[in-house]
Structures are given as structure tokens and as C-alpha cells.
């Protein structure tokens, strides 16, 4: 369902002018933690810059080159965000220098994430406690997730990178050897060592690196701040800046880094907010925007 907010900006002044119009379509005003919301903005005149704020996080908007004065974006709802009534705040500066602000009330619901106990073998547990490596790797991955390329490289729904059993869902509260850890930032898919892993969507390789905690890691930039991540690979078949198509083989399943068995950790991030990958492969309606 598309929720529509029509905003009519009345011009004030002695001269009667055409009423500038900003029409905003939002796919979901009642999202859960880990969801993504797609937003379409039709303006009556060119927007020079525009942002959408949800609590402390500011999202960019991107020009749709196929439609005149149309701007699109995707907003990630953090798995940590407080569940409550809040607002999406829109702020636009038009090319003619005029500005406009408005807001749209939304309600964020709980995703009811479950708890998961994980028993790591001493060697893996030791790596998991290596704060320095974790910090360095998180900084590198975090920096890559911040990339917001204006050109759109994705089309249609994302695909599962491989077929296998889902062993851990997005958002589960991890408890490692009875010590509370981070909540799960992606979906784990179990498969045999060496199973080929496909690119979930077309894009450019933003990271291809061997990491101590996250294992052999590939990240793909799909444009508009949407980036997918693949961890614990055995072999990496791609290198940074490679252009790849949806379904291309990027590597093979392994258990490098902190892993209890051979599996793929698959994640999707929207402008630095991790979202539930399941929604991106099952729900294709959002891509129609």
C-alpha cells in the first residue's frame, strides 16, 4: 500500500504564482525495526538538495533521471530504534533558492527479535574477544557502508546469494558463551564448504578483503546508499571496483573469522542502517517505486 501525503505550498506575495507542489509517497508508515521504507518525491521544480531525518539519522535523496523533478530514496529502520510514534522530517532546498520543510508521522513497531545462545570453541572465542581487530574491521566496514553513490545500479528484487538452511535470522540477540553480544546484523545461511555464492544484486565491489573477525568479506555497492555484505567466505573471486551483475559468483562458502560452521552471513545496509535481508528477496513491491 502506498501512503500519500500531498503538500501544497501556497506562495505568499502580491503576484499570483503557480502553486509549487511537493508530492510524497511513502511505502510504509508503520514499519518494524529492521524494515526499509521507500520514498518517492515529485516536485514541481528542481530540488537542489533534500534530506529526510528520522530521529538523529539523516538520509539523502537521489534524482530519478527518468522522471522530471522526481527524487527517490530508501530509509533503513534500525534494529535498535525505540518503538514509538515519531516523524519523518523532510527538508528541501529548491534550485531557485527557496526552501520547504514538512514532516510525516510514522509509528515504529517492535520486530520481537529472539535470543540465541552460541557456543564458540576456545580458538574462535579468543578471536571474538579481540577488541582491537573488531574495532579496526568495524571501522573499515562502517566506512564502506557510508558510501552513497548517486547512480542506481540495482534493478528488480534482490536474490538469495545461495540456497541453504537459514540458521540465524536478522536481529537475533546473540549470547556468546553466556556473555551478551551484539544483535545479529544479517541472515546466516548454512551450506557446504565451497558452495558458490552469488551477488544478490548488480553493483560494484566496494570491499574484498580477508578479515580476522568477520572472515573473508565481500561488499557490493548497489547505489543510493544500498550495500550488501557477505562474510566468512572460503574463497573470494572478485576484487575491489569490479563491476558485477546479479547472480555472478563472488566467492565460496567457508567458515573464516568467528563462525561455528560453514555458512554465509548475508547483510544489507541502507545509508549505514542494517536492514532485514529477507524483506529484500521476498517483497518485490518496494522495487516498483
Which residue ranges make up the site for Zn ion (CB under 5 A)?
Answer: 188, 265
Min separation Cβ 214 and Zn ion, Å: 9
Nearest residue to 144 via CA among 262, 49, 230, 235: 230
Smallest gap from residue 6 Cβ to Zn ion (A): 42
Cα-based distances in Å from 258 to 61, 72, 125, 276, 281: 36, 37, 8, 21, 26
Q: Considering beta carbons, is residue 265 or 274 the nearer one to Zn ion?
A: 265
**Residue 52 burial by CB count (10 A; 0-12/13-18/19+): exposed, middle or buried?**
buried
| Pick 40 or 184: Cβ nearer Zn ion | 184
User: Among all residues, whose Cβ is closest to Zn ion?
Assistant: 265
CB closer to Zn ion out of 124 and 265: 265
Collapsed DSSP state (helix, strand, coil) of residue 71: strand
- In the bound state with Zn ion, the residue whose beta carbon lies nearer, of 198 and 265, is 265
User: Between the CA atoms of 39, 45, 47 and 53, what dihedral angle is there, to the nearest 10 degrees?
Assistant: -40
CB of 17 to Zn ion, least distance (A): 55
- Max Cα–Cα distance, the chain, nearest Å: 77
Q: Closest approach of Cβ 237 to Zn ion, in Å?
A: 21
Closest contact distance (angstroms) between CB of 201 and Zn ion is 19
Residue number, 59 or 145, with CB nearest to Zn ion: 145
SS3 content of the chain, % helix, strand, coil (to 5): 10, 45, 45
By the 10 Å C-beta count (0-12 exposed, 13-18 middle, 19+ buried), 89 is classed as: middle
What is the spatial distance between Cα 141 and Cα 40, in angstroms, rounded to a whole number? Answer: 29
Nearest distance in Å: CB 170, Zn ion: 9
Separation of alpha carbons 129 and 50, rounded Å:
41
Closer CB to Zn ion, 50 or 215, in the complex: 215
Work out how close the CB of 118 gets to Zn ion at its nearest, in angstroms, rounded to a whole number: 10
Distance of CA 62 to the CA centre of its chain: 15
Number of C-beta neighbours around residue 27 at 10 A: 21
Closer residue to Zn ion (CB): 54 or 218:
218
Find the Cα–Cα–Cα–Cα dihedral 220, 222, 225, 227, rounded to 10°.
Answer: -30
Amino acid at each position: 500500500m502506498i501512503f500519500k501525503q500531498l503538500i501544497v505550498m501556497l506562495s505568499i506575495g502580491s503576484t499570483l504564482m503557480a502553486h509549487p507542489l511537493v508530492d510524497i509517497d511513502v511505502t510504509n508508515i508503520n514499519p518494524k525495526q529492521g524494515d526499509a521504507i521507500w520514498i518517492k518525491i515529485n516536485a514541481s521544480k528542481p530540488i537542489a538538495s533534500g534530506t529526510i531525518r528520522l530521529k538523529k539519522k539523516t538520509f539523502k535523496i537521489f534524482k530519478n533521471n527518468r522522471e522530471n523533478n522526481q527524487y527517490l530514496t530508501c530509509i533503513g529502520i534500525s534494529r535498535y530504534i525505540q518503538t514509538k510514534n515519531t516523524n519523518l522530517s523532510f527538508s528541501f532546498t529548491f534550485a531557485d533558492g527557496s526552501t520547504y520543510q514538512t514532516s510525516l508521522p510514522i509509528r515504529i513497531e517492535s520486530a520481537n527479535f529472539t535470543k540465541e545462545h552460541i557456543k564458540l570453541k576456545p580458538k574462535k572465542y579468543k578471536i571474538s574477544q579481540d577488541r582491537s581487530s573488531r574495532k579496526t574491521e568495524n571501522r573499515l566496514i562502517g566506512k564502506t557502508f557510508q558510501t552513497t553513490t548517486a547512480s542506481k545500479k540495482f534493478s528488480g528484487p534482490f536474490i538469495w546469494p545461495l540456497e541453504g538452511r537459514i540458521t540465524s535470522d536478522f536481529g537475533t540477540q546473540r549470547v556468546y558463551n553466556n556473555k551478551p553480544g551484539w544483535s545479529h546484523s544479517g541472515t546466516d545461511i548454512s551450506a557446504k564448504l565451497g558452495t558458490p555464492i552469488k551477488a544478490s544484486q548488480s553493483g560494484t565491489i566496494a570491499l574484498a578483503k580477508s578479515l580476522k573477525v568477520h572472515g573473508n568479506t565481500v561488499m557490493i555497492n548497489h547505489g543510493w546508499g544500498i550495500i550488501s555484505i557477505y562474510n566468512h567466505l572460503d574463497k573470494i573471486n572478485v576484487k575491489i571496483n569490479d563491476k558485477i551483475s546479479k547472480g555472478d559468483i563472488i566467492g565460496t562458502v567457508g567458515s573464516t573469522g568467528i563462525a561455528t560452521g560453514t555458512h554465509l552471513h548475508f547483510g544489507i545496509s541502507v545509508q549505514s542502517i542494517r536492514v532485514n535481508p529477507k524483506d529484500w528477496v521476498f517483497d518485490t513491491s518496494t522495487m516498483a517505486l
